[in-house]
Structures are given as C-alpha cells and as structure tokens.
C-alpha cells in the first residue's frame, strides 16, 4: 500500500510543479539556515573532554586585599603563583596541575630552519594524565622533574612532523630560547575545543605546540601570554621575561576529583586554606571560594559567543515561518484535490487510508526538502569556514547533526502535513461529488 | 465596498486565513528585529576611531635574544634598539611620520586603568574614578595618527620619556580625549589641570585635549569608556615593539614593502612575519568581522523570509482564485467591473495582512524583549516597527496582484460553466 501511496504522491507532485518546488524550497531554506547555525552552536558548546569533564574542577580562591581591584563577590578567575604552588604541593586532589601559557622561540639545529615562535604551555606533571592527552611516543615528565626544574619538553605531533619528519624523537635535543631541552614525549593529535584549561588565550582554535615544566619556564624567564589581574601595588609583566608580582593572579589551576564526596572535601580544604592564609595575614577577605566543574566553568565564562546563539534563534524563527508557509501551501494543494479524494472515499477508501496517503505526500516533500536543505547547510557551513573568526575552522557537519537534519526535515514536514491532510480527508464525499 | 460580505467569505476558509496572517506576523517580528540588528551593527562598524585611517599602517615586531626589561641596563639597551628602528623607518622616502605606540584603536590589545581628579583614589571608589585606556607613544603621535588637538598643545620632543614595560613611573604630562576631559571636568578648562592615574599620588598635567580617539578594545567590556583614551609621552621598552607608520599619500604599498628589509638591516635578530605589517584597513576589517558577518546573515535571512512569505501569499491566493472561479463569473455577470474583482482580492489581502501585522507588532516587541533579556540588544525603536508594518502590507499587495489580476480576467461567462 505504501508503494501505491508513493506512486500517487509522485503523480500529484508532478502535476503542480511550481507549488511543489515552492514547498520543497521553503523547507530547504528553513532547514538549511537552521542546521547551519545549529551546527555552529553545537560545535562551539561541545564537551572538550567527553567522559572526563565531570571529574575536572577549577578551584577559585580570593587572595585580594580588602580594597580589592575587582568589585563584586566573585573570586578572581585565576590564581597567584604562591597560592598555585601551595595548592599544587598540598596534593589534596586525585590529580592537580598548575599552568600558564606562553610563546617560545624554537631554534632548530638544522640550518634549513630559521628560528620560529610557537605557543607553549608551562605546566606540571599531572597535566597529561588529568586531561587524557594521548601520547604518540614517550610520556610526560614526573613530579620530581617539576621540582628539579628538569629541561624536559613534550611536543606535539605537528611539531615532530616539522622538525623530525614524524620520527620518534624521544630523547633527542631541542633548543628553546637558548636552552637545550630533552624531548620526553610526543603528543598525538589533541585539540580540545573550547581551549577550556586556559580561556584567557582565546577560547577556540588555540593549540600549544610545546609543553614544558612550569618551574623550568619560570627559572628561564620564558615569555607568558594570557591575562593577569593585579591589586594593591601589583604590576603585571606581559612580555620581556618579567612575571607578574605576588599580588597578581595569572595562572590556571585544575584538579581532578573522582567523586562528589571528594569534591565536597576539596571545597572544605579551600575554605580552610583561605582561613589559614588569612590568619597568616596574606589574605584579607573572608574565605570566598568556588569549585566549578569543567562544564560549569565554561558556562560561567560564557564561552559560546552571544552572536552564535542569537543567530541560531533567528534561524529557528525562520524555519518556523517556512513551516507555516508549507502548511498553507499544502492546505491549498490538498483541498484543491477534494474531488479526487472524494472519488477515492466513494470507492471505499477509509479516512485513515486517505490520511496516510496525504501524509506520505508531505513526507516525500519533507525528504526532498531535507536533502536540498542538507546541501544548503553544507554550503552555509562552507561559508562560515571562510569567514575569519577563531571558531571558523571548527564548523563541520558531524554524523549526529546529519541525522538530526533529516529527522528535523521529515518530522517538520509531516507535522506541516497533519492539519491539511486532516482537513482534506474530512471533506464530505457526497457533497463534493454532487457539486462537480 | 462593504467589508462584511468579505469577512463572511473569509470565515469559510479560516485555516488558510489564519496561516497567512500567522506567517505575516512571524515574518514581521523576525524582519523588524533582524533589520534592527543590522542597523546597530552598521552604526558600530561606521563609528569613526578619531584617526585619519588612510595611509596608516602598524608594524608589530619582536626581537630574538633581546636584553631583559627587568634591569635598568636592559631597559636602556631596549630603548636604544627601539630608537634605531624609529630612525630607520623615519628615514624611508615613502614614510611621512612614525610613532611608537603600545596599541591602536580596534587592535583589541588594551592597557586599561582609571583616572581621577583626586590623588590616592581606590579603584572601588565609584564616581571619583573614570575608566580609561592608555596609549604610550611619543611626540609624533598626533601627525602619525592624524589626531586633532582641540585645546592645549601636542607633545613635543622634550616631553618624551621611556620606561620598562613593567615599570610604573610617574606620568607628569598626558593628553586626554575630549570625552574623558568632559567627564573629569564638566565645567571645561581641562588643559593645565592635574589628574591622578591609577590611584597614584603624583599628578599628571593635562597639556592637550584631542577631539576623539577610540580605545583599542571593541568588546562589550569597554562600553562605558569607548572614547576615554589617555595618551602618555613615553616609549615602552620590552622585547617587542609596535610602530604606527603614516605613509606619504599614494606610497602606502611602497612603505609597507620597505619595512621588513629596513628593520632587518638595522638588526637581523628579530621576528617579522606575515602579520607584522598591517594596514589600518585590515585592522578595522578584522576587528569588525563578526559584526559584518552578522549583518550579512541577518540581511540574507530577511530577504529569503520576505520571498518565502510572498510566495506563500501567491500560492494560497491563487488557490482561492481557482476555488472561486465560478463565483467571480457570477459577480462579473451581475455587473461587477474587472477593477471591482481586483479590488476585492486586494482588500481581502489588506484585511488579512493587516490583522497579521497587528499580531506581528506584538510578536516583534515580545521577541525584542526576549533578545534584550538574553543578548546585548537595545529597545526596538517604534519607527522600525512602523516601517516593518508598511513593508509587509506592501509585500502582501505586491504578492496578491498577480493572482488578483488573473481573477479579474475571469470572463462573466464562467458563471454558466460547470466549475
């Protein structure tokens, strides 16, 4: 029976080509616009570390003096070097890492390369295990290496490809800013988006190429990137090898806490730490701590650009208008065929059968519109990629979104077909036939 | 023409009428807000920075193995290197003037602070402090950037100091924008008065006021102080430096091409990559790329939306014309002129579009309130709504004309034929 309905639908759609084209086009542009903006929104609000994000927390404490640089009750969004080292060495979490971003010159031995600058992350041993960074060769450095200011470096596969043609470079030497480092490991492709662990360097499409121990970087006065907030007499060093003073926050501190109970205990620890520091006279404010997990941290920072959300809303409004339009056109089309439908009714087809037939027709329109909409969405995403925004390169349609596109297109057109089909199959056959 | 027979006729096909009205209402709501967004973005992109932007470009460069800016000795060496660069660039035949500067409007690299008319003010003291962004530059800033002095004087060579990037020495003289001067000294006469930067206890004398200069950042966090810039006559010494360069008219390209070889000749140990020499036009395009993209997207959505709605009206009205073929014939046979039939469909459309527009106005205001709550939007001016209403009514009339013309061409003899 379904085959017969398809056949009927095909005939009916061919009979009135302009109207059919109009309906398919309306659904296509609606779906195209909605899916383009929704895909961008989906990509940008994605989980950077699926499966791990629930266990990662970003502790915030408030070391500011009483007069305070930043008004309001929120503690600063980064930590000072002293507090970062204290919390790191306290080892109260399952894993913890203190970090800052920077830029370093790489000075290859081979004369075929001029020195070049790459983005770097200065961090501590647990970074790789905590964030699940995959190693292609070798491994990270140890906590002991951290304290020993080891000249160890982890590079990315991209840098390994560039310098060593992709060979296993573990153990080889790499000169960074006039200092020789030993390559401890090579990371496989790893691009968490958003760049959650340090949002101050840009939330999207920011990748470091070298990772080296924080204390080594500090000792060697490597340049730092990112922001710093100071209070009191603090001054912020930006570049030139000077670091912000003790009353500036400029490092990120992350912890891994495997259970909610541990998270609660860690929050208590942060409060106790703040009280202790206040007793010592370093902190002047009452304990003011936050312990957000990764997802909450991204939400709090409003990482997804407001424009992208706004565009998604507008595009869904647009889709709604396109659907209302399709409902109107289908209504006209179905009601115009009242005569034909009445004949089928008179010959014994049930209302249910007519309803199924008409819905089949709207489903065909939906699938056609969805396919065209998919092409439009692919075109739209191509346009987004060619715009120079920091997230442009990420705008790709993944299989899940592909499925959503089709489900949305077919579902929407079936929904659009329900009212017209219902009205059409309720036509009184006798009256209709008589008037003809 | 009496309206009540028309309304009676419309009640016969409620579903179609409601659908068209709904579509017009939604279209109006979305188009009003989208056009408002476009207008806002265009205003933002078109606001002048206060600079003479033509023939202006920026050089950003970094030295490799430069001395540390932490020691007095290092700072002196860095300053000497910077002065060598400046001299070399100023000697280029295609260059009119050069000024070292830490940032430029629209560059989004901001040194923000606050100034007060009283010493030792804390940041938290509201009312006393005015937020500002600092530009550290020298005596050639006015001519290089094309800033207009409206009171007092420009910096002269004797004013210019230099400092390590991290140092925070007193700033004895400054130039402020008119916006900042008006905020600090509402009674006027800012020139010669002292202000205190960042809660400092040593005064900074305002020697001049410039008409307008935007702060570097374009984000929403500078919304309160977009025009409050403070210029400090001091070269910043670090392992990187920025130079604003004004080329002689018509020699912009030559000047931009000459920069890299000239600087490498002064000192080859530096990094100058593709992004290092940027015209101000590029800086502007980069700063506003998201706004331009948003405006274009909203424009495209509006256009397609209006076309889809027009097509929907054509489709449904054509159907009604077909359905009423016989009745039209009867009316014509009873003496109605072609124009009467045409006007009937036009008036019918006006009625439907009008009721849709009423709903649309409410929806537009509702959508605007929703967007105001969640995104950075201002209140939708009523003018936009009125223009939107006029637009959808015109759109309806335009769309209905073709099927209505067809209806008016139905011959009176159709009354006698079987439909």
Spell out the SS3 assignment of A103-141.
EEEECCCCCCCCCEEEEEEEECCCHHHHHCCCEEEECCC
CA end-to-end distance (rounded Å), chain B:
26
Asked if A317's CB is within 8 angstroms of B316's CB, the reply is: no
Dihedral sign from CA coordinates of B174, B180, B185, B189? positive
B167 shares its domain with B73: yes
- Per-residue pLDDT of chain A (436 residues), as tens digits, is 788 888 888 888 788 788 888 888 888 989 888 888 888 888 888 788 888 888 999 999 988 776 544 455 678 889 999 999 999 999 999 999 999 998 888 888 766 677 788 899 999 999 999 999 999 999 999 999 999 999 999 999 999 998 888 899 999 999 998 899 999 999 998 888 888 899 887 777 788 999 999 999 988 888 887 777 776 655 554 444 457 777 788 899 999 999 999 999 999 999 999 999 988 888 888 888 999 999 889 888 888 888 888 888 888 888 889 988 888 888 888 887 878 888 888 888 888 888 888 888 888 888 898 889 989 988 988 888 877 566 777 777 778 878 887 788 788 888 888 888 888 888 777 776 666 5
Name the residue among B19, B29, B167 with its Cβ closest to that of A324. Answer: B19
Residues B210-228 pLDDT 10s: 999 999 988 777 788 899 9
B261 shares its domain with B407: no
Q: What is the pLDDT of residue A226?
A: 74
Q: What is the pLDDT of residue A111?
A: 63
Q: Which residues of B touch A315 (CB under 8 A)?
A: 301
Closest by CA to B239, choosing from A156, A315, A238, is A238
Q: How many angstroms separate the CA atoms of B61 and A201, rounded?
A: 20
Q: What are phi and psi of B209, to 5 degrees?
A: -130, 130
B90-122 exposure pattern, b = at least 16 Cβ within 10 A, e = fewer: eebebbbbbbbbbbbbbbbebbbbbbbbeeebb
B169 shares its domain with B246: yes
B268-274 — which CB contacts under 8 Å span 24+ positions? B269/B63, B269/B64, B269/B65, B270/B61, B270/B62, B270/B63, B270/B64, B271/A105, B271/A115, B271/A116, B271/A117, B271/B61, B271/B62, B271/B63, B271/B64, B272/B59, B272/B61
CB-side neighbour CA atoms (13 Å) of B270: 27
The A residues from 341 to 370 touching B (CB cutoff 8 Å) are none
| For A70, nearest residue in chain B (alpha carbons) | B124
Name the residue among B20, B30, B316 with its Cβ closest to that of A318. Answer: B30
Check if the beta carbon of residue B110 is closer than 8 Å to that of residue B133: yes
pTM of the model: 0.79
Asked if A221's CB is within 8 angstroms of B30's CB, the reply is: no
The residue from B268, B301, B332 where one domain ends is B268
Burial class (CB in 10 A: 0-12, 13-18, 19+), B275: exposed
Q: How many angstroms separate the CA atoms of A55 and B184, rounded?
A: 50
Question: Would residue B275 count as lying in a domain?
Answer: no
Asked if B123's CB is within 8 angstroms of A67's CB, the reply is: yes
B256 shares its domain with B153: yes
B125 shares its domain with B179: yes
Name B361's Cβ contacts closer than 8 Å, sequence gap at least 6.
B28, B385, B389
Name A241's Cβ contacts closer than 8 Å, sequence gap at least 6.
A221, A222, A223, B68, B69, B70, B239
Whether A125 contacts chain B with CB within 8 A: no
Whether B339 contacts chain A with CB within 8 A: no
For the packed helices A2-15 and A17-44, what is the interaxial angle rounded to 10 degrees?
110
The ipTM estimated for the assembled molecules is 0.78
Dihedral sign from CA coordinates of B274, B278, B279, B283? positive
Question: Would residue B278 count as lying in a domain?
Answer: no
Residues B46-96 pLDDT 10s: 999 999 999 999 999 888 777 877 778 888 999 999 999 999 999 999 999
Whether B401 contacts chain A with CB within 8 A: no
Asked if A435's CB is within 8 angstroms of B308's CB, the reply is: no
How big is the CA angle at B269 (ends B267 and B275), to the nearest 5 degrees?
95
Q: What is the pLDDT of residue A13?
A: 79
- Can you give the length of chain B in residues? 419
Q: How many angstroms separate the CA atoms of A228 and A230, rounded?
A: 7
Place of tokens 């080292």: A85
Q: What is the pLDDT of residue A227?
A: 75
Residues B97-116 pLDDT 10s: 999 999 999 988 888 888 88
The residue from B268, B303, B322 where one domain ends is B268
Q: How many CB pairs under 8 A join A and B?
A: 152
B230 shares its domain with B320: no
Name the residue among A116, A221, A322 with its Cβ closest to that of B68. Answer: A221
Name the residue among B23, B164, B319 with its Cβ closest to that of A325. Answer: B23
Whether B399 contacts chain A with CB within 8 A: no
Name the residue among A223, A305, A329 with its Cβ closest to that of B312. Answer: A329
Element (H, E) at B362: helix B338-374
Name the residue among A237, A320, A419 with its Cβ closest to that of B15. Answer: A419
Total structural domains in chain B?
Answer: 2
Check if the beta carbon of residue B244 is closer than 8 Å to that of residue B144: yes
Q: State CA A282 to chain mean position distance.
A: 38
Asked if A387's CB is within 8 angstroms of B30's CB, the reply is: no
Q: What is the pLDDT of residue B90?
A: 94
Mean pLDDT along residues B397-416: 89
Asked if B69's CB is within 8 angstroms of A241's CB, the reply is: yes
Closest by CA to A412, choosing from A367, A374, A378, is A367
Q: What is the pLDDT of residue A232?
A: 62
Of the candidate ranges A244-258, B18-32, B380-394, the one whose mean pLDDT is the lowest: A244-258
B22 shares its domain with B89: no
Residues B233-255 pLDDT 10s: 999 988 889 999 999 999 999 99
SS3 per residue for B61-91? EEECCCCCCCCHHHHHHHHHHHHHHHHHHHH
B171 shares its domain with B261: yes
Q: What is the pLDDT of residue A238?
A: 44
Asked if B309's CB is within 8 angstroms of A325's CB, the reply is: yes
Question: Would residue B180 count as lying in a domain?
Answer: yes
Question: Would residue B165 count as lying in a domain?
Answer: yes
Whether B290 contacts chain A with CB within 8 A: yes
Average pLDDT of chain B, as a whole number: 88
Q: Which residues of A touch B312 (CB under 8 A)?
A: 22, 26, 324-325, 328-329
Question: Would residue B273 count as lying in a domain?
Answer: no
**R_g of chain B, CA atoms, integer Å:** 32
Question: Would residue B8 count as lying in a domain?
Answer: yes
Question: Would residue B354 count as lying in a domain?
Answer: yes
For the packed helices B280-287 and B289-323, what is the interaxial angle rounded to 10 degrees?
50
Distance from CA of B413 to the nearest CA of A (A): 18
Closest by CA to A151, choosing from A179, A111, A121, A110, is A179
Whether B124 contacts chain A with CB within 8 A: yes
Distance from CA of A27 to the nearest CA of B (A): 10
Asked if A331's CB is within 8 angstroms of B238's CB, the reply is: no
Q: What is the pLDDT of residue A390?
A: 66
Instruction: Say whether pLDDT at B126 is over 60.
Output: no
B70 shares its domain with B200: yes
Distance from CA of A264 to the nearest CA of B (A): 32
B294-327 exposure pattern, b = at least 16 Cβ within 10 A, e = fewer: bbebbebbbebbbebbbbbbbbbbbbbbebbbbe
Instruction: Say whether pLDDT at B124 is over 60.
Output: no
The A residues from 176 to 195 touching B (CB cutoff 8 Å) are 178
Q: Helix H segments across B146-288?
A: 178-184, 252-266, 280-287
Question: Would residue B50 count as lying in a domain?
Answer: no
B300 shares its domain with B378: yes
Q: What is the pLDDT of residue A67?
A: 58
Residues B321-357 pLDDT 10s: 888 888 899 989 998 899 999 999 999 999 999 999 9
Q: How many angstroms separate the CA atoms of B12 and B10, rounded?
A: 5
Q: What is the pLDDT of residue A411?
A: 85
Residues B159-206 pLDDT 10s: 999 988 767 788 899 999 999 999 999 988 899 999 998 877 889 999
Residue B77, domain extent = 65-268
Check if the beta carbon of residue B139 is closer than 8 Å to that of residue A83: no
Q: What is the pLDDT of residue A68?
A: 47
B311 shares its domain with B191: no
Distance from CA of A322 to the nearest CA of B (A): 7
Mean pLDDT along residues B136-163: 92
B381-410 exposure pattern, b = at least 16 Cβ within 10 A, e = fewer: eeebbeebbebbbebbeebbbebbebbbeb
B210 shares its domain with B344: no
Q: What is the pLDDT of residue A70?
A: 47
Check if the beta carbon of residue B345 is closer than 8 Å to that of residue B400: yes
């Amino acid at each position: 029976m379904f085959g017969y309905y398809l056949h009927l639908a095909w005939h009916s759609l061919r009979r009135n080509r302009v109207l059919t084209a109009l309906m398919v086009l309306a659904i296509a542009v609606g779906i195209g616009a909605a899916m383009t903006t929704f895909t961008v929104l989906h990509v940008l609000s994605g989980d950077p570390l699926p499966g791990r994000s629930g266990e990662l927390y970003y502790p915030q404490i408030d070391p500011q003096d009483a007069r305070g640089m930043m008004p309001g009750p929120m503690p600063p969004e980064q930590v000072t070097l002293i507090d970062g080292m204290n919390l790191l060495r306290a080892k109260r979490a399952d894993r913890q890492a203190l970090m800052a971003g920077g830029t370093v010159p790489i000075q290859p031995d081979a004369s075929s390369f001029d020195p070049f600058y790459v983005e770097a992350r200065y961090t501590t041993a647990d970074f790789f295990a905590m964030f699940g960074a995959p190693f292609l060769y070798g491994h990270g450095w140890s906590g002991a290496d951290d304290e020993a200011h080891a000249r160890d470096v982890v590079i990315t596969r991209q840098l390994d490809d560039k310098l060593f043609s992709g060979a296993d470079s573990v153990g080889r030497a790499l000169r960074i800013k006039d200092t020789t480092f030993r390559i401890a490991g090579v990371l496989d492709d790893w691009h968490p988006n958003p760049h959650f662990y340090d949002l101050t360097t840009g939330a999207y499409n920011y990748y470091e190429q070298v990772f080296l121990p924080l204390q080594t970087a500090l000792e060697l006065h490597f340049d730092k990137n990112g922001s710093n907030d100071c209070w009191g007499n603090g001054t912020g060093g930006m570049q030139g090898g000077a670091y912000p003073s003790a009353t500036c926050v400029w490092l990120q501190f992350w912890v891994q806490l495997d259970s909610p109970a541990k998270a609660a205990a860690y929050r208590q620890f942060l409060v106790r730490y703040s009280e202790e520091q206040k007793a010592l006279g370093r902190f002047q404010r009452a304990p003011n701590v936050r312990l957000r997990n990764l997802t909450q941290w991204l939400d709090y920072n409003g990482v997804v650009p407001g424009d992208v959300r706004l565009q998604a809303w507008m595009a869904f409004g647009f889709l709604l208008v396109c659907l209302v339009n399709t409902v109107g056109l289908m209504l006209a089309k179905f009601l115009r065929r009242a005569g034909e439908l009445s004949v089928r009714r008179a010959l014994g087809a049930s209302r249910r059968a007519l309803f199924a037939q008409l819905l089949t027709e709207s489903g065909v329109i939906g699938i056609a519109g969805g396919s065209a909409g998919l092409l439009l969405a692919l075109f739209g995403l191509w346009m987004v990629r060619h715009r120079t925004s920091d997230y442009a390169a990420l705008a790709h349609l993944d299989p899940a979104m592909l499925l959503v596109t089709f489900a949305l297109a077919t579902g929407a057109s079936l929904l659009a077909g329900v009212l017209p089909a219902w009205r059409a199959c309720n036509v009184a056959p006798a009256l209709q036939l008589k008037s003809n | 023409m009496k309206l009540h027979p028309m309304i009676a006729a419309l009640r016969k096909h409620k579903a179609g009428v409601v659908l068209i009205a709904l579509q017009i209402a939604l279209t109006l709501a979305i188009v009003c807000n989208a056009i408002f967004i476009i207008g806002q973005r265009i205003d933002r992109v078109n606001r002048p920075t206060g600079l003479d932007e033509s023939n202006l470009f920026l050089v950003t460069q970094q030295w490799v193995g430069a001395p540390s800016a932490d020691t007095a000795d290092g700072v002196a060496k860095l300053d000497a290197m910077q002065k060598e660069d400046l001299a070399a660039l100023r000697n280029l035949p295609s260059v009119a003037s050069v000024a070292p500067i830490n940032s430029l409007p629209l560059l989004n690299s901001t040194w923000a602070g606050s100034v007060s008319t009283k010493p030792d003010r804390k940041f938290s003291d509201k009312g006393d402090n005015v937020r500002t962004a600092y530009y550290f530059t020298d005596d050639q800033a006015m001519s290089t950037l094309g800033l207009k002095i409206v009171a007092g004087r420009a910096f002269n060579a004797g004013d210019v100091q230099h400092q390590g990037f991290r140092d925070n020495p007193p700033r004895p003289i400054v130039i402020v924008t008119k916006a900042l001067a008006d905020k600090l000294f509402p009674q006027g006469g800012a020139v010669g008065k002292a202000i205190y930067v960042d809660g400092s206890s040593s005064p900074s004398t305002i020697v001049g006021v410039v008409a307008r200069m935007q702060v570097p950042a374009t984000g929403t966090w500078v919304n309160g102080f977009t025009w409050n810039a403070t210029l400090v006559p001091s070269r910043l010494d670090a392992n990187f430096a920025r130079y604003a360069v004004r080329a002689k008219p018509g020699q912009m390209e030559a000047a931009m091409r000459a920069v890299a070889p000239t600087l490498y000749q002064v000192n080859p140990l530096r990094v100058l990559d593709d992004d290092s020499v940027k015209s101000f036009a590029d800086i502007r395009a980069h700063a506003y790329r998201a706004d331009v993209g948003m405006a274009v997207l909203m424009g495209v959505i509006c256009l397609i939306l209006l076309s889809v709605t027009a097509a929907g009206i054509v489709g449904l009205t054509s159907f009604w014309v077909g359905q009423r073929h016989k009745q039209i014939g009867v009316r014509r046979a009873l003496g109605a002129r072609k124009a009467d039939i045409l006007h009937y469909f036009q008036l019918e459309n006006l009625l439907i579009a009008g009721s849709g527009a009423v709903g649309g106005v409410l929806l537009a205001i509702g959508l605007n309130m929703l967007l105001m709550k969640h995104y950075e939007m201002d209140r939708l001016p009523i003018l936009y709504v009125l223009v939107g209403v006029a637009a959808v009514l015109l759109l309806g009339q335009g769309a209905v004309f073709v099927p209505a013309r067809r209806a008016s061409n139905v011959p009176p003899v159709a009354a006698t034929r079987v439909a």
